[in-house]
Structure 1
Amino acid sequence: MIRNHTSLIRKMRTHSLALAGLLALATTAQAQTAWKPTRPVTIVVPYVAGGGTDATARATAKLLGELWGQPVVVENMPGADGLIGGRRVVDARADGHTLLLQTPAIVLTKHAPSFKGPDPLAQLKPVTNIAQSPGVIVANANIPATTLPELIAYCKTAPTPCSMGTGENVAKLFGRQLQAEALPNLIVVNYKGTAAIITDMIANNVNFAVTGITSALPHQKAGTLKIVASQGAIRAPAAPEVRTVIETGLPQYEYTTWFGLFAPKDTPPAVAQAIYAAVKDVMRNPELQKSIAAAGAIPLVNTPEEFAAQVRKEDERFTGLAKRFPLD
């Protein structure tokens, strides 16, 4: 009888310990998903207002603010190939209240000839992708080309060397690659923003450029510019008639732009996970999906781990390309 009583007590203690462990795990899980900002959140966009990155940030910020019950402010900090805005977030408190919305250009920062100091990518934590969009190759309307191979063929026989406008590092890399592989006389002209490139392309001061699709579409409809290729893996929904570089036999020029959120490196995993969960939640909103589509992008949300793997893969690819085609 005593033995049975002792055995029962032991079993009760074992079950109690197991229950306590489960409760602790549940409490931890709840704490991880329960994070919310306690003051206004800033999303830094390291580009001028009005572009695709800015539009994506503002549409997302509006709904995140409604979900969290805190203002979510978009702060444009262009300059130095994204370094100024990136530094603002790197130096911020790692508590989820200051975020960076960046594109693949961030992985090329360390390869810019003027770059000095630590790699900003290594000082940031990938949180989640928001959307992705193909770059498009746009030309002056009078250039007799409707595909990238035709554009290359035209430039090879043009009486004067063709010129290409670039506004950020990924476009610069494409220009250097094109210069090395197909058009050695190509003149690559660097600009501070897309608006100036568009103005000069319309005037034919620069012959072609890589831009976001929403920047190009109104001018294509007006007949002043033409989209000759999509650099995405698939045709852009906003311009389904435009063939991709893959379709026309030039897959090496495929560059898909993603728009992703980063936080300071030491941001706790639970905070990053909560931000991802919030973005995933608001992305179900048809209003946000419509806004992202209007910016020429496709919604694409992934976990912090998945986004980190995506960034690493992009870093490996662009590092290899930057070594072959230096951004000088």
Structure 2
Amino acid sequence: MTLERFRDRKPPPVPGLLAAAALLSLGPPALAQTAWQPDRPVTLVVPYSAGGGTDATARAVSKQLGVIWKQPVVVENMPGADGLIGTRRVMEARPDGYTLLLQVPSIVVTKYTPGLKGIDPLARLEPVTAVSQSPAAVVVSAKLPVKTFGEFVQYCKTAAQPCSLGTGESTARISAKQLAAEAGLPNLIVVNYRGTGAIVTDMIANNVNMAFTGITAALPHYKAGTLKILATQGPKRAAALPEVPTTAEAGYPQFQSVTWFGLFAPKGTPASVAQGIVAALREAVKDTDVQKTIAAAGAEPVVNAPAAFAAQVRQESDRLAALVKLYPLE
């Protein structure tokens, strides 16, 4: 064999490289099909009562996830102990993607809550992704003779009976203590509930006057005229309530709060499983019915990567830790 002919010969194909080339030639859609997905029903735990913002968000996406995965996604409400009962259910579950948790920022202050023995759920959970987010709101009974946040504060200073504020989770209790201290309402009565639904019912009847709550639970009653939303707590006006000022515009910039509805999995859940869940959620929130449900609740879909959501959780943890130092939970 001449040297020239030897140079012209091509090396034989390597089987492993052929397989890799074949996989790459299939393109992104085929690669996406290799993402993890369940082969049996998935449980999505909501650690609060039915009817609140967390529950509405869970039900908005669970049906579509079931369509995508071709497996039922069952929403399981487990209220109690500031969300710890349902949260613990997921903390103790197998890290295999079949038991998931939908939580809100109050999860970061669980360790500061008296009676819960300093339990830190975040130490035993993996942040997976935010599903949607919505600014919290200042909501009052429509029976009160007020139209603005400032008028509500003045009303409470002169009312014959002390004003009352309903709370369904720890972050709202922190805000209640902050309002009492910083707005000059030392007689403000804080009434603790097991869930937002009961607060809304009592606010409509004016059994409790006010609440810091998600837009989700209050929006239909605001539209019906049985509740008033005096301000929203985001950095800008809520898309669902463009006519309602922010707390900063109302003169109370310290009462800012954006509620994310975030998905968590047990600690040790493989990264491939988390990525598969995120991929499915990104498809789920494209569904028209899911988008309508989330928008009707005054929220917007925000599906981010596990690392980005973990950073979001840390940021909220730092913010609330500073408030807890000023206004300890009791």
Same fold (TM over 0.5): yes
2:230 partner SS = strand
The 8 Å contact of residues 32 and 273 in structure 1, kept in 2 or not, is answered as no
Segment of structure 1 superposing worse, 220-229 or 316-325: 220-229
1:210 maps to 212
Give the counterpart of 2:245 among 243, 246, 264: 243
2:70 maps to 69
The 8 Å contact of residues 128 and 262 in structure 1, kept in 2 or not, is answered as yes
Within a 5 Å distance, the mapping from 1:63-102 to structure 2 comes to 63-102=64-103
2:254 partner SS = helix
| Alignment deviations for residues 2-42 of structure 1 (CA, whole Å, 9 cap, x no partner) | 99999999x959x9699489669979x95995211121111
Residue 219 of structure 2 aligns to which amino acid in structure 1? L
Number of aligned residue pairs: give it: 325
Give the counterpart of 1:184 among 183, 186, 191: 186
Alpha-carbon distance in 1 for matches of 2:224, 2:70: 42
The 8 Å contact of residues 176 and 325 in structure 1, kept in 2 or not, is answered as yes
Tell me, which stretches of 5 or more residues in structure 1 are unaligned? none
Within a 5 Å distance, the mapping from 1:1-328 to structure 2 comes to 19=17, 30=31, 33-116=34-117, 118-182=119-183, 183-328=185-330
Q: Considering only aligned residues, what root-mean-square deviation do their CA atoms show, in Å?
A: 2.8
Residue 254 of structure 2 aligns to which amino acid in structure 1? Q
The 8 Å contact of residues 48 and 78 in structure 1, kept in 2 or not, is answered as yes
Alpha-carbon distance in 1 for matches of 2:291, 2:70: 21
The 8 Å contact of residues 112 and 118 in structure 2, kept in 1 or not, is answered as no
| Alignment deviations for residues 199-238 of structure 1 (CA, whole Å, 9 cap, x no partner) | 3323333221123324323433444332111112222233
1:253 partner SS = coil
Residue 66 of structure 2 aligns to which amino acid in structure 1? G
Alpha-carbon distance in 1 for matches of 2:6, 2:87: 63
| TM-score, normalised by the number of residues in structure 2 | 0.89
Alpha-carbon distance in 2 for matches of 1:315, 1:8: 64
CA separation of 1:94 and 1:231: change in aligned 2, threshold 3 A: same
1:245 partner SS = coil
| Alignment deviations for residues 261-287 of structure 1 (CA, whole Å, 9 cap, x no partner) | 100110011110111011011211111
2:229 partner SS = strand
1:114 partner SS = coil
The 8 Å contact of residues 32 and 271 in structure 1, kept in 2 or not, is answered as no
The 8 Å contact of residues 51 and 217 in structure 2, kept in 1 or not, is answered as no
Segment of structure 1 superposing worse, 269-278 or 232-241: 232-241
Alpha-carbon distance in 1 for matches of 2:323, 2:312: 17
Residue 57 of structure 2 aligns to which amino acid in structure 1? T
1:130 partner SS = strand
2:95 partner SS = coil
Tell me, which stretches of 5 or more residues in structure 2 are unaligned? none
| TM-score, normalised by the number of residues in structure 1 | 0.89
1:135 partner SS = strand
Identity of aligned residues (%): 61
The 8 Å contact of residues 35 and 275 in structure 2, kept in 1 or not, is answered as no
